[in-house]
Amino acid sequence: MSLYDEGHTVAGWTGFGIATAGSGVVGLGVCTASLPLVAGGLAVVAVSVLVTWILRLAGWGKPPGVRPRGQWGMRVRDAQAREGHPGCVSCRLAGRGRRAVVMAAAAGRSTAAESVPLSPVE
């Protein structure tokens, strides 16, 4: 059994549903040779990306990686979403998670990996 439980979130399923509807409209536009339907369907797909992102930032998505079994439920909100997840592109695009980097730099700690010599010559 997988411990990762990826995609079983309100944000994931809502985005999937909207994107599926948009893809159906695009397909209908292709079959009927209607450029406005194709453009409308592509707009709906773009909206699905934004809705998924907003829901994820609101805590209805979950970060990648192993989570405790108590957080596997679809109705469980992600408590760490407000602060941002380390290494999360979605959080970085929203400007979250940078406070920890700034605070660490202000405290004199380096967040970058230090160089380790690979040979005695270095």
**12 pLDDT higher than 80:** yes
pTM above 0.85, yes or no: no
pLDDT for position 43: 98
Burial class (CB in 10 A: 0-12, 13-18, 19+), 41: buried
Q: What is the tens place of the pLDDT at every residue in 42-86?
A: 999 999 999 998 988 888 887 767 777 777 777 777 777 777 777
**34 pLDDT higher than 90:** yes
pLDDT for position 47: 97
**18 pLDDT higher than 90:** yes
pLDDT for position 107: 57
Token digits for 59?
């805590």
